[in-house]
Structure 1
Amino acid sequence: MEKKAIKVHPQDNVAVALIDVWKDNVVQVEADEVKLVTDTKAKHKFSMVDLVEGDKIFMYGVLVGKAMKPIKRGEVLTVNNVKHESNQAYKKTEVTSWDAPDISKWKNRTFNGYHRPDGQVGTKNVWLFFPLVFCENKNIEKLKDVFENELSFHKSSRQRLLLRKLIHGEDSDVMIDTEPEESAIFDNIEVKFITHQGGCGGIRQDSASLARLLSGYVNNPNVAGATVLSLGCQNLQIDIFKNALKRINPDIQKPVLIYEQQQMGTVEEMMDTIIKESFDGIKKANEIKRKPAPLSKIKLGLECGGSDGFSGISANPALGYASDLLAALKGSPILSEFPELCGIEQELVNRCVSDETAERFIELTRAYEKAAIASGSGFDMNPSPGNIKDGLITDAMKSAGAAKKGGTSPIEDVLDYGDYVTKPGLNLLNTPGNDVESTTAMVGAGASVVVFTTGLGTPTGNPVAPVIKVSSNSTLARTMPDIIDIDSGGVIRGEKTIEEMGEEILEFIIQVASGEVESKADQLNQDDFIPWKRGVSL
């Protein structure tokens, strides 16, 4: 018999519809039979009990909402009858303990990565170009055009070829689906380019924050070297950037080429110098080869975006199990998106390895939420229209499912935005819930691979780290196969366990980290980069 609904945790008083179910249908939920009093679409929740106004609603075993009006047993939950409600964390109340998963089949596994002088190991070998201020974006774009065209890193897109055919007429010899292959000049290095809108014009704290982020990108194990452009008069001075880099890595041995336009004369003279010296650095970086490394060298970003009502019961807990395996292997998973940890703070506080770590998390979370409220918003306004449409109707409900990405392992460290991961085990990183801002920050904190779960689909990628997409449902995997790497829909159908899916994700991470498989985001050249602007603009 097809399973129509599931109760995620024994303490829950709601269930999740696995398929569309209709009014007057009788649905089996474990040993209970519930007659629906409203139509309920797949991914949405219905009440297992009669609720009166003010009654608490539990899912994943935690408080996720409160009834705004009476809700009948078998009635669907909506934004009209439920509002956000969550527990608040104040202090650590339990001793941290963990039943780690069996890692016997993984402990001798390796991946083939790029070994850096400081002991980090990258999954890619990237030469990175970026500006310290938006005034240099145009020069970065010129350099991108020169290097990508001459080094043949990207061939023409199908859309560009289609337009070419339209220009030359339907009878032209231009082929849309094929193009003569151009081999890259270098086979062991990628050249990537970042632009941004920061570095000047805002408060000084924004520039300092951007400096920490950019220095984290330079220090990321996937980066072999960097070319940095400065105008000269901006808030983010070269010295600020150098000090931020020194703070992360006092003895960095990578080549970092820095150019200041106001000290170099004409644009042509500056660009000629940059191209010559950067080409020499790229040529040397191409000589670095992959070598075996233990899985403990992987720093794994845990991300979700375009979440749906299945994300918290398939893709996220499966990624959480992969995270637990990596943590047990002394790797470094990174859980971010603080607005999407709302309601499960107490659980996270109790998982912190020390009182100091717990206090750090509480302090950062409270400060962030206070700032959000002061701006006229709040964590309770986090769910997007897409989230709500697909069953995530309160922030606590969304957060409880999103936090499953972090598994169950102890939290070894809590970092603020711009900090760099140095400890093995699970790390919490303070970032927004916005997909690209969060992914951008985790790579700046050292993530060498990112796994991104999604229920609705998103093309997000990163210029430095491969981003692996896991769909929460098979419909998405079939609809958008060009962006989805792994389909976890088998968990919803009962064909795979969370543990089996988690092991499949870890296996895929190893393949991507070794360069054996290219993530779909990298195939699409999806290089997204958005810094978090925490201050006001002046």
Structure 2
Amino acid sequence: MNHRFLQIHPKDNVLVALTDLKAGESILFDNRTINLKHDIAAKHKFSLYDLETGAQIYMYGSIVGRAMSPIPEGATLTTGNVIHEASSFGSKSETFSWDAPDVSKYKNKFFKGYHRPDGQVGTANYWLVIPLVFCENRNVDVIKDAFVEELGFIKPNAYKSLVQQMTDLYKSGKKSEIENLSVEEDTLNGKSRIFKNIDGIKFLTHNGGCGGIRQDSEALCALFAGYINNPNVAGATVLSLGCQNAQPTILKEKLDKINPEFKKPVILLEQQKEGTEQHLLSQAIKKTFLAMIDADQMQREPAPLSKLTIGLECGGSDGFSGISANPAVGHASDLVVALGGKTILSEFPELCGVEQELINRCTDEVIAEKFSGLMKAYAASAEAVGSGFDMNPSPGNIKDGLITDAMKSSGAAKKGGTSPVVDVLDYTEYISKPGLNLLCTPGNDVESTTAMAGSGANVILFTTGLGTPTGNPIAPVIKISSNTTLAKKMPDIIDIDTGEVITGEKTIEEMGEEILELIIKVASGESIPKAVQLGQDDFIPWKRGVSL
């Protein structure tokens, strides 16, 4: 690979700058000399030929845009001269065959996880506290304040110490010294963990459960059912007000649908039945503590890698994401699938333009039609409120080279590797089939990761080119940078750097294997991802049709 620019696919009529290129510079490509018309920043694209108005732009071998005006050879592609355009899609048109990667060296490997009665294996062991309606958020916060510090699940807050120092200086008349204060990593360990085999107690507050439309409450209960059923969860405490739309009976119905053999402990308390708030909270705290004593008896034991369910996510993407981090994650996905595990590719707005490829990879027509139907319905709902998939790229995406949704999508889809699509899941449906599964979610990072954990992911891989601190309450999130500059700039959030793919020091396959090795360590509790260390417990349920 040339380490200054790259043609991703032989069909592409643009090149990607791998480093900053200067106007007037001449580059040699395919025995042709191309004179650059502009300064071209790394991650951005420039034309390989003279393109007329209306010409289709190709990257990854797919249509990713259309020229709005003539684009000379060697000119930069921008939002001023390129508009979104994507390939159309229809029914499954090809028979798909897959050349699975060699996984012989992983056959005898395992991770140490928490074996649940239903056969699932957790990579962590959490207790959940869930409000069925936003009216109970305050009570959940009170329970959180009562538990997390006393049980040793949090360390001292360095920023609280900073505020105390500032207060002392202000009271002493030394306001001018405040600017010189700095926040340093707090070396105190806080209280020791009471429960050695419980990784934490997590609190899923939200703004739903009542009001809105009844479907929102149904979806919320289904999402909570998925979280409670997730193998990383030992059990749950559920607070209900009593009169809300999201009724406990709906939660039970959703749990029964996901897992008819469900056997985890679930503590349900209803405020309008319990009486005073004090009584409700006392009961919740005592019952939860006693249940956690039992949950603490479970210990990690060896499990085959086929028990992994890996969520595949990207956020804060850049022009390198689809060249380094996403394909590396895609290879890791292929390895997990070849080992009999499950993977989940979500973010449907970021599959725009690659639908036909995914349809052709579906194992049968029924699955293909479900995917096609969900994509069309999602696109139509976005257009109905005056939006569309073409509005998906964020200002950060555009600034770093992803100027159309199809361009972003073509790179984002690389997270799904090359394996067959064995199932398509609508939002809140729980994963059951080994192999690559597609899950209908928004492209919004937190809504998507929230959904994948609710569908059974026990580890999530999250690629980023710009840097984003997103995590999840129950599924450890491994953050993967597309470039080394980011990894060095934000080492507090990045777990693994794929920038060596850009420089040519490592191959996609080598990076994919490194990612799998880290997955095994994280799944065994031997390595704690940065998002978990930082307490990034992001949780946002999706209201259908509102979010891209």
TM-score, structure 1 normalization:
0.97
- SS of equivalent residue, structure 1 residue 453: strand
Q: Aligned partners of 1:142 and 1:253: how far apart in 2?
A: 28
- SS of equivalent residue, structure 1 residue 412: strand
Q: CA deviation at 1:446?
A: 0.2
- Structure 1 residue aligned with 2:513: 503
Q: Aligned partners of 2:219 and 2:385: how far apart in 1?
A: 20
Q: Aligned partners of 1:487 and 1:27: how far apart in 2?
A: 29
- SS of equivalent residue, structure 2 residue 104: coil
Q: Aligned partners of 2:146 and 2:430: how far apart in 1?
A: 32
- Structure 1 residue aligned with 2:209: 199
Q: CA deviation at 1:182?
A: 2.2
The residue type equivalent to 2:324 in the other structure is S
Q: CA deviation at 1:297?
A: 0.4
The answer as to whether partners of 1:4 and 1:27 remain within 8 angstroms in 2 is: no
Relative to structure 1, is the Cα distance of residues 151 and 31 closer, same or farther in structure 2, using a 3 angstrom cutoff? farther
Q: Aligned partners of 1:171 and 1:105: how far apart in 2?
A: 64
- Structure 2 residue aligned with 1:86: 86
The residue type equivalent to 2:192 in the other structure is S
Out of 183, 188, 191, the position equivalent to 1:182 is 191
Write the mapping of 1:347-386 to structure 2, written as runs, cut at 5 A: 347-386=357-396
Q: Aligned partners of 1:239 and 1:330: how far apart in 2?
A: 35
Write the mapping of 1:136-155 to structure 2, written as runs, cut at 5 A: 136-155=136-155
Write the mapping of 1:3-402 to structure 2, written as runs, cut at 5 A: 3-29=3-29, 31-169=31-169, 177-179=186-188, 181-189=190-198, 190-402=200-412
The answer as to whether partners of 1:161 and 1:175 remain within 8 angstroms in 2 is: no
- SS of equivalent residue, structure 1 residue 201: coil
User: Which deviates more, 176-185 or 359-368?
Assistant: 176-185
The answer as to whether partners of 2:150 and 2:191 remain within 8 angstroms in 1 is: no
Task: Deviation per CA, 1:43-80: give whole Å up to 9, x if none.
Answer: 00000011000111100011101111100110000001
Relative to structure 1, is the Cα distance of residues 140 and 31 closer, same or farther in structure 2, using a 3 angstrom cutoff? farther
The answer as to whether partners of 1:15 and 1:29 remain within 8 angstroms in 2 is: no
Q: CA deviation at 1:106?
A: 1.1
Q: Aligned partners of 1:433 and 1:259: how far apart in 2?
A: 35
Out of 431, 436, 440, the position equivalent to 2:450 is 440
User: Which deviates more, 31-40 or 277-286?
Assistant: 31-40
Q: CA deviation at 1:358?
A: 0.3
* 1:411 maps onto 2:417 in alignment: no
Provide structure 1 residue ranges, at least 5 long, that are not aligned to the other structure.
Answer: none
Q: Aligned partners of 1:186 and 1:92: how far apart in 2?
A: 52
- SS of equivalent residue, structure 1 residue 330: coil
Aligned residue pairs total 535
The answer as to whether partners of 1:7 and 1:30 remain within 8 angstroms in 2 is: no
The answer as to whether partners of 1:7 and 1:29 remain within 8 angstroms in 2 is: no
* 1:486 maps onto 2:496 in alignment: yes
Relative to structure 1, is the Cα distance of residues 30 and 113 closer, same or farther in structure 2, using a 3 angstrom cutoff? farther
The answer as to whether partners of 1:4 and 1:28 remain within 8 angstroms in 2 is: no
Out of 522, 537, 540, the position equivalent to 1:512 is 522
Q: CA deviation at 1:188?
A: 1.1
Q: CA deviation at 1:175?
A: 9.1
Relative to structure 1, is the Cα distance of residues 363 and 291 closer, same or farther in structure 2, using a 3 angstrom cutoff? same
Provide structure 2 residue ranges, at least 5 long, that are not aligned to the other structure.
Answer: 173-182
- SS of equivalent residue, structure 2 residue 148: helix
The answer as to whether partners of 2:155 and 2:189 remain within 8 angstroms in 1 is: no
The answer as to whether partners of 2:135 and 2:241 remain within 8 angstroms in 1 is: yes
Q: CA deviation at 1:176?
A: 7.1
Relative to structure 1, is the Cα distance of residues 200 and 162 closer, same or farther in structure 2, using a 3 angstrom cutoff? same
The answer as to whether partners of 2:381 and 2:545 remain within 8 angstroms in 1 is: no
- SS of equivalent residue, structure 1 residue 362: helix
- SS of equivalent residue, structure 1 residue 114: strand
Q: Aligned partners of 1:163 and 1:26: how far apart in 2?
A: 56
Task: Deviation per CA, 1:467-525: give whole Å up to 9, x if none.
Answer: 00000000000000000000000000000000000000010011000000000000000
The answer as to whether partners of 2:156 and 2:189 remain within 8 angstroms in 1 is: no
The residue type equivalent to 1:524 in the other structure is L
The answer as to whether partners of 1:320 and 1:407 remain within 8 angstroms in 2 is: yes
Q: Aligned partners of 2:263 and 2:239: how far apart in 1?
A: 19
The residue type equivalent to 1:185 in the other structure is I
The answer as to whether partners of 1:472 and 1:488 remain within 8 angstroms in 2 is: yes
The answer as to whether partners of 1:300 and 1:447 remain within 8 angstroms in 2 is: yes
Q: Aligned partners of 2:328 and 2:217: how far apart in 1?
A: 38
- SS of equivalent residue, structure 1 residue 192: strand
Q: Aligned partners of 1:445 and 1:175: how far apart in 2?
A: 38
The residue type equivalent to 2:114 in the other structure is Y
Q: CA deviation at 1:350?
A: 0.2
Q: Aligned partners of 1:327 and 1:151: how far apart in 2?
A: 38
The residue type equivalent to 2:20 in the other structure is D
The residue type equivalent to 1:427 in the other structure is N
Q: CA deviation at 1:330?
A: 1.0
The residue type equivalent to 2:70 in the other structure is P
Q: CA deviation at 1:162?
A: 1.6
Q: CA deviation at 1:150?
A: 1.2
Relative to structure 1, is the Cα distance of residues 436 and 180 closer, same or farther in structure 2, using a 3 angstrom cutoff? closer
Task: Deviation per CA, 1:221-279: give whole Å up to 9, x if none.
Answer: 00000000000000011101110111101111100111110000101111111111110
The answer as to whether partners of 1:101 and 1:325 remain within 8 angstroms in 2 is: yes
- Structure 1 residue aligned with 2:179: none
The runs of at least 4 aligned residues of structure 1 exceeding 6 Å deviation read none
User: Which deviates more, 174-183 or 472-481?
Assistant: 174-183
- Structure 1 residue aligned with 2:176: none
Q: Aligned partners of 1:443 and 1:158: how far apart in 2?
A: 30
Relative to structure 1, is the Cα distance of residues 495 and 32 closer, same or farther in structure 2, using a 3 angstrom cutoff? farther
Q: CA deviation at 1:28?
A: 3.6
- SS of equivalent residue, structure 1 residue 252: coil
Q: Aligned partners of 2:443 and 2:513: how far apart in 1?
A: 26
Q: CA deviation at 1:168?
A: 3.8
The answer as to whether partners of 1:206 and 1:535 remain within 8 angstroms in 2 is: no
TM-score, structure 2 normalization:
0.96
Q: Aligned partners of 1:6 and 1:405: how far apart in 2?
A: 19
